[in-house]
Structure 1
Amino acid sequence: MDAARLVKVQEAKTHLSSLLAKVEAGEEIVIARGDHAIARLVPINRPTRRILGGLRVSVPDEFFDPLPDDEIAAWEGSLDEDL
């Protein structure tokens, strides 16, 4: 990597968008107040993108049929009251 570019605070404030574009391209920017470096702009390592949907599952049509009354009662806790 090349040496970091030194930028004064006023220049950083005025040209922030273009400096960020350079950082996105991999350049490192050091912001200084006078001759004293106070901050460093570096690109963030972005996590690899995850792709969802790699697992294909088929659901039978019966899955969407209404549940029997005793099954609904069990889910709602109604069976416990009958005991």
Structure 2
Amino acid sequence: MIRLNIHEAKTHLSRYLKRLEQGETILLCKRNVPIAEIRPLSKQRERPRPVGLAKGDFKLPPEFFDPLPEDLLDAFEGKRN
């Protein structure tokens, strides 16, 4: 983990980007007190995720498509009885 004060980070951030890409984390400090953490993002997928991977694993019961009860609808809308 790299520990940097704000001034150092503002001045030399480009120096630390390569280390971020390699998986290191920057602990950003204000007067040596940690206030934030800068972490690398996870790698982007090269291919889109396929749709329908769980097809056939479960079935929705017919009641799933029934209208919700009025009291539950009211709760979602913030109405009180």
The alignment of Structure 1 onto Structure 2 pairs a total of residues equal to 48
Gaps of 5+ in 1: 52-83
Query: Which has a greater percent of helix?
Result: 1
Alignment of 1:1-83 (within 5 A): 4-50=1-47
Instruction: Please give the TM-score of this superposition, normalised by the length of structure 2.
Output: 0.53
Matching residue's letter, 2:8: E
TM-score by length of 1: 0.52
String of CA shifts for 1:22-59, please: whole Å, max 9, x gaps.
100111110100121111111101232117xxxxxxxx
Aligned letter for 1:34? R
Give the match's secondary structure for 1:44: coil
The percent of aligned pairs where both chains have the same amino acid is 33
Runs of 4+ deviating beyond 6 Å: none
Greater Rg, structure 1 or structure 2?
1
> Within 1, Cα distance between the matches of 2:3 and 2:44?
28
